[in-house]
A = this chain, B = another copy of it.
């Protein structure tokens, strides 16, 4: 059953507001009243979509798994996915809210949340790179994905503390620069670009794609 356009707009407004409040306060200190003020919706409208703070947090975490960037070189696709996420995170409420929930020790119930989703996605990308013969047979996709996602979570905190928007892209680029030589075939490695500057083009490309293909929710809205 298709949802109504207005309901979808309300749901998105509530999710974005919740993400902003989670990013600012953390899970435990966040409260529904502040989310209502931020979203400018009624209590009834919010509870129609989300029964509790826990459901709001789950909604934010699910919304924040953005998918991967495609590239014929699988290792480059892995790098591009991380660089684009690093570039988008400081400016997108849903991503910032999810990152804080992921690192929030008060949000015990959600610890299982974004990490398994991002870790699975990263492990899949590594498995594809292995199948394509781009990384060594000895590489364990899941173990490597855990380190990459764990490292990203910590570097995101570090970048936030630095107060510099470009810091996360710089650290993510450095992480790939350090890790790839140990897992990637030399012939592939020399073709892979891990530079922070690459994130400019990736961001533009993602924006152009978003403009060309309306998201399913927007499509439903104009239907």
Number of copies: 2
Q: Is the CB of A146 within 8 A of B161?
A: no
CB distance from A79 to the nearest CB of B (A): 14
Q: Is the CB of A157 within 8 A of B151?
A: no
CB distance from A203 to the nearest CB of B (A): 22
Given contacts A100-B105, A105-B160, A152-B154, contact A178 B144 (CB under 8 A): yes
Chain B: CB-nearest residue to A139: B178
Q: Is the CB of A146 within 8 A of B174?
A: yes
A26 within 8 A of B: yes
Given contacts A105-B103, A154-B155, A179-B178, contact A146 B160 (CB under 8 A): no
CB distance from A183 to the nearest CB of B (A): 7
Q: Tell me the count of chain A residues lying within 8 A, CB to CB, of chain B.
A: 39
A201 within 8 A of B: no
Among A89-118, those with CB < 8 Å from B are 100, 102-106, 108, 111-112, 115
A214 within 8 A of B: no
Chain B contacts of A26 at CB under 8 A? 26, 28, 105-106
- A13-37 vs B, Cβ < 8 Å mask (1 yes, 0 no): 0000000000000101100000000
Chain B contacts of A29 at CB under 8 A? 28-29, 106
Cα distance A30–B112 when bound, in Å? 25
Instruction: Beyond A26-B28, A105-B157, list 11 extra A-B contacts (CB 8 Å).
Output: A102-B157, A105-B160, A115-B158, A146-B171, A146-B174, A147-B151, A147-B155, A149-B158, A153-B153, A178-B182, A180-B182
Pairs across A and B, CB under 8 Å, 11 listed: A100-B105, A103-B103, A108-B161, A115-B158, A115-B161, A144-B178, A147-B151, A150-B157, A153-B158, A154-B155, A154-B157
